[in-house]
Amino acid sequence: MSFKYNKIQFIVVGWHYNQPEYYGGLKVLKDTHPDIDVFWSCHNEPPKYIKDNFNYKVFPNLGEEFIAYQQAIEYLNLDDDTICFFIHDDIIIKNWNFIHKCVTVLNNNKNLKFLGNCLNYPLPEFDPTKYEGHDGVGISEEFDNQPISAYALDETKHWFDRNISPVAVIRGSFICCRYKDLKHIHGFEPRKEAWVPLKWDEENQCHSYRGGVGQSRYGNLFMFMFSYKINRVFGTDCIGYLSQRYLDSDFIYEMTRAKIDKDNPML
């Protein structure tokens, strides 16, 4: 594979560290392609193999992948034309040609700005002027009884002003885009006041956000906010997918919490 006309940056969220074959492939890529760089944005202390073979930084664990991605782009000095792959560390790589596929699509289709690995279910609608949930409990007390738009960055709050129907959604497990398009929408949501770590819930034996059980309450909200912002700025046809299957494509399988989803197995 040759990408002499594109600088490529992988940003991997370091948390599970459970796919050594995948990490070995990343090492081969960066060692054999001077135009490819790999950076680990870690929210968990990385193992020796990652420390010895990759550029990495352990950031404060203040949330999930969208915060890890934002921490990374604020730390790195990326060129506008860099093609970025924001990606989880618990995926299964089936075919490394996804890189060539994504680069080709972005270079040849000006309408598509963001690429996901798998089709994600679109939202019938998303109205950021409404309240998140129905109980008024925010991610912290500051956000109690506040609408979804309160979580938006100062630079983007004016975009969170109305309902959009439908909204194409891109999963945080795999996001490919040109950096200039990400920069145009001021990176990832939410605002830093909402960078709040999950806490261990002893009763339910899981990490949870305030006001709920598990990660989905705000993990999904920030995914929906990011997707809404893309739709709002670039249009509803600007997100593409490598597959029409959920979690799976011919190139990558996205595990959920480092496990195969029995309802959506890898083909």
Joined together, the tokens standing for residue 153 give 């960055």
Task: Using the predicted structure, report yes or no on whether residue 7 has a pLDDT greater than 60.
Answer: yes
Mean predicted lDDT score pLDDT of the chain: 94
Could you tell me the pTM of the whole model? 0.95
pLDDT of residue 5: 57
pLDDT of residue 136: 85
Which of 64-68, 96-100, 130-134, 254-258 bottoms out in mean pLDDT, i.e. has the lowest?
Answer: 130-134
Cβ contact 217:144 at 8 Å:
no
73 SS3 class: helix
CA atoms of 114 and 241, how far apart (whole Å): 9
Q: How many residues does the chain have?
A: 267
* Burial (0-12, 13-18, 19+ Cβ within 10 Å), 61: middle
pLDDT of residue 3: 53
pLDDT of residue 133: 61
Task: Using the predicted structure, report yes or no on whether residue 4 has a pLDDT greater than 60.
Answer: no
Q: How confident is the model at residue 1 (pLDDT cuts 50, 70, 90)?
A: low
CA atoms of 98 and 113, how far apart (whole Å): 16
Instruction: Give me the mean pLDDT over the 111-122 stretch.
Output: 96
Task: Using the predicted structure, report yes or no on whether residue 132 has a pLDDT greater than 70.
Answer: no
User: Using one digit for the tens of pLDDT, what is the confidence trace for 146-169?
Assistant: 999 999 999 999 999 999 999 999
Instruction: Give me the mean pLDDT over the 185-212 stretch.
Output: 90
User: Using one digit for the tens of pLDDT, what is the confidence trace for 95-116?
Assistant: 999 999 999 999 999 999 999 9
Task: Using the predicted structure, report yes or no on whether residue 201 has a pLDDT greater than 90.
Answer: no
Percentage of the chain beyond pLDDT 90 is: 84
Bridge partners of residue 88, in order along the sequence? 13
